[in-house]
C-alpha cells in the first residue's frame, strides 16, 4: 500500500519514512502541505496519509479539507500527527476531514495499529465498490452473452438520438435475428444454442467499431447502434455482420453448428419520426423484409410513417 507522509521537520520525516518502509509500505514523503494536497487529490495518488498538523503553505487540517473537496471517488484515509492535545484541537482536526488523530510523541506500535485500521476501512470500501460495480454490470448486461441488455441498449439509443438532433450527425440502427434458431435448439440442444448465442455476441462485437453499441434485444435478436454512420456505411456494416455470422461454423460442445442471420437496417434522419418506437418499427419491418426475401440477407428500412 502506498502511503503519503508530510512533515517539514526533515529528521522526523526520514525516521518515519524508514519505519514505514520496514513495515512494507511504499512511502511518498513531502515537506509541505500544498504538495501533500496535490499528491492526495490526484486520482492515482496515495489513499493512506500521515499529516503533520503544522506545515508551511497548508497545515494538516487545510490539506484534509482540500482532499475532501476534490477527491470524491475513492476515500483517502488521513491520520493527523500533532502535539496539540485539547478536545477543541481534536474536534477541529476531525471536522476538517481527518479520519484519526495521533498525539506526538506517539508510540510506534500504536501508529502501526491505527494504520492497520485505516487499511481495513480502505479494503472494505474496495469490496463495496466492487460489489456495486458488479450489481451495475448485472443490471445493464445480458447474463448469457455479456452484451448490453434490452433496457440498456434502448436507453443508449434514446440518448444517442437526442445527441444527433443537436449535432445533426447521422445514425444507423441494425436489428439482426438468427435464422431458424429454434431448429438449432431442437437439433443440437439448448446448451449448444446458448453457445451459439454467446459466440454470436462475440462476432457482433468484432464486426463493429469500439464506440458503437451492441445489445441483446431479446431471444435470438440483437440490436446494433452505429454512431456517425450514414446509409452506405450502415449497409456495409450490416453486410460485414452477416458474413461474420454465416462465414464459418460455430464450434459448440456438441457439434459444429452453421447459422445465418437476417438483418434490418435503419439509416436516416430520426427527426422525421415522433418517437423511438416508430423508428424501431421501421427497422423491424426491414428485418421482416429480409426474412421474406429468403433470410441470410440485409434490407434497408423504407420510411413509411414519417412525421
Task: Give the residue numbers annotated as catalytic, written as ranges.
Answer: 220
State the helix-helix crossing angle for 190-207 and 231-246, rounded to 10 degrees: 140
Spell out where the chain has E strands: 2-6, 26-30, 48-52, 77-82, 100-103, 171-178, 213-218, 221-227, 250-251, 256-257, 261-268, 298-300
Q: Phi first, then psi: give them for residue 30, nearest 5 degrees.
A: -130, 160
The candidate with the shortest Cα–Cα distance to 33, out of 2, 1, 78, 74, is 78
Does residue 195 contact residue 250 with C-beta atoms inside 8 Å? yes
As a whole number of angstroms, the distance between CA 207 and CA 241 comes to: 6
What are the DSSP calls for 25-53, one per residue?
-EEEEESSHHHHHHHHHSTTS-SEEEEES
The residue among 56, 68, 96, 57 whose CA lies nearest residue 80 is 96
Longest CA pairwise span in the chain (Å): 85
Question: For 9, phi and psi rounded to 5 degrees?
Answer: -90, 105
The torsion angles phi and psi of 155, rounded to 5 degrees, stand at: -65, -45
Amino acid at each position: 500500500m502506498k502511503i503519503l507522509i508530510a512533515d517539514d521537520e526533515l529528521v522526523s520525516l526520514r525516521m518515519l519514512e524508514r519505519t514505514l518502509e520496514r513495515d512494507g509500505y511504499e512511502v511518498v514523503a513531502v515537506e509541505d502541505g500544498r504538495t501533500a494536497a496535490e499528491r492526495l487529490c490526484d486520482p492515482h495518488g496515495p489513499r493512506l496519509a500521515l499529516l503533520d498538523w503544522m506545515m508551511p503553505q497548508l497545515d494538516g487540517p487545510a490539506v484534509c479539507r482540500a482532499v475532501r473537496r476534490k477527491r470524491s471517488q475513492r476515500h483517502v484515509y488521513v491520520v493527523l500527527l500533532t502535539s496539540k492535545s485539547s478536545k477543541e484541537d481534536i474536534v477541529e482536526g476531525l471536522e476538517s476531514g481527518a479520519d484519526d488523530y495521533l498525539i506526538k510523541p506517539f508510540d510506534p506500535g500504536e501508529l502501526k495499529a491505527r494504520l492497520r485500521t485505516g487499511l481495513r476501512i480502505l479494503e472494505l470500501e474496495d469490496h463495496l465498490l466492487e460489489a456495486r460495480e458488479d450489481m451495475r454490470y448485472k443490471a445493464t448486461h445480458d447474463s448469457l452473452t455479456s452484451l448490453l441488455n434490452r433496457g440498456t441498449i434502448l436507453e443508449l439509443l434514446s440518448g444517442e438520438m437526442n445527441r444527433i438532433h443537436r449535432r445533426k450527425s447521422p445514425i444507423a440502427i441494425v436489428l439482426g435475428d438468427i435464422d431458424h434458431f429454434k431448429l438449432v435448439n431442437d437439433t443440437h440442444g439448448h446448451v449448444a444454442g446458448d453457445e451459439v448465442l454467446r459466440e454470436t455476441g462475440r462476432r457482433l462485437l468484432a464486426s463493429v467499431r469500439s464506440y458503437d453499441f451492441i445489445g441483446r434485444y431479446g431471444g435470438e435478436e440483437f440490436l446494433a447502434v452505429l454512431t456517425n454512420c450514414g446509409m452506405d456505411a450502415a449497409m456495409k456494416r450490416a453486410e460485414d455482420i452477416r458474413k461474420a455470422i454465416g462465414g464459418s461454423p460455430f464450434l459448440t460442445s456438441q457439434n459444429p453448428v452453421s447459422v445465418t442471420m437476417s438483418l434490418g437496417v435503419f439509416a436516416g434522419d430520426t427527426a422525421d419520426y415522433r418517437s423511438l418506437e416508430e423508428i424501431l418499427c421501421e427497422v423491424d419491418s426491414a428485418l421482416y423484409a429480409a426474412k421474406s426475401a429468403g433470410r441470410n440477407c440485409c434490407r434497408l428500412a423504407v420510411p413509411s410513417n414519417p412525421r
